[in-house]
Amino acid sequence: MKFSLIIPVYNEADVIVPTLTLLADALECELPSAWEIIVVDNASTDDTSGTVIGLQDKRISVVTLVEKGKGRALRAGFSAARGDIVGFTDADLPIAPDEILAALSSLERSDDDVLIGSRFHPESVMPGREWWRIGSSQLFNFLARTIVGVSVSDTQCPLKLMKRQQVKLFLSTKEETWFFDLEFIALLERLGIPLREVPVMWNEHRYPERRSKLSTTRD
């Protein structure tokens, strides 16, 4: 079993090296030579691509785009992925490598096709998360359930893993920005494809100096 992990990045030169180092160490410990990380540079202007290339790790590749859009970036990464299980997470690593590996093991053993993290799972923990971030996420997910009709508790959590047979469905999504997750989950549910939510330990302050690329009011 080979695992492909996609990381979309936009101006993440300051944090991408420690993130990749943590992930590579954890993956190599559990999956020796059976993994790859694909960094998709989403039109960065700070030489994020050059920073990743400078690591000179053959297991870590870079796809460079000239046009922004997280959905667009992830489809580019998934198109290049060779794993039997493919997933993605964010460059600031709000979900620790050991939790990603635990989710991978759980999906591999199960009959589910897709596994997604949920910050609102009863067993999830979000230490130090600001009330307004929690509130805006809850509002978005309420609207997603009400308007789109999805049933999951957290469509936007950046931990999603899927078996190879669902990669084609993921690549069929059209949304180019932040809301590709919602489109993908809506497709899964309407096609009756099994997915499962798992709890996460959420840490969005791993890199205190990093500023979020998401504008709550604008987006």
Provide the pLDDT for residue 1. 85
Q: CA 48 → CA 12, 52, 56, 97, 188, distances in Å?
A: 6, 6, 14, 21, 33
- The set of long-range contacts for 182-191, using a CB threshold of 8 Å and a minimum separation of 24, is 182/144, 182/148, 182/150, 182/155, 182/156, 183/71, 184/160, 185/116, 185/150, 185/152, 185/155, 186/148, 186/149, 186/150, 188/113, 188/114, 189/149, 189/150, 189/151, 189/152
SS3 78: helix
pLDDT higher for 128 or 197? 197
Tokens of 152: 């999951």
Nearest 5°: CA angle at 38, between 100 and 71?
A: 85
Whether the per-residue pLDDT at 216 is higher than 60: the answer is: no
Stretch 100-104: mean pLDDT, rounded?
98
Average pLDDT of the chain is 92
**Rounded distance between C-alpha atoms, residue 38 and residue 6, angstroms:** 5
Residue 32 main-chain phi, psi, to 5 deg: -55, 120
Q: Which uninterrupted H or E stretch holds 38? A: strand 35-42
**Rounded distance between C-alpha atoms, residue 77 and residue 70, angstroms:** 11
Q: CA 111 → CA 45, 115, 119, distances in Å?
A: 42, 11, 23
State the pLDDT confidence band at 146, using cuts at 50, 70 and 90: confident
Stretch 183-190: mean pLDDT, rounded?
96
The partner residues of 35 in beta bridges, in order of sequence, read: 3
Provide the pLDDT for residue 149. 80
State the pLDDT confidence band at 209, using cuts at 50, 70 and 90: confident
Stretch 63-86: mean pLDDT, rounded?
96
State the pLDDT confidence band at 85, using cuts at 50, 70 and 90: very high
Stretch 184-189: mean pLDDT, rounded?
96
* pLDDT tens, residue by residue, 22-55: 999 999 999 999 999 999 999 999 999 999 999 9
Within 10 angstroms of residue 21's Cβ, the number of other Cβ atoms is 12
Q: What's the CA dihedral at 89, 93, 95, 101 to 10 degrees?
A: 70
pLDDT higher for 133 or 104? 104
167 exposed, middle or buried (CB, 10 Å; 0-12, 13-18, 19+)? middle
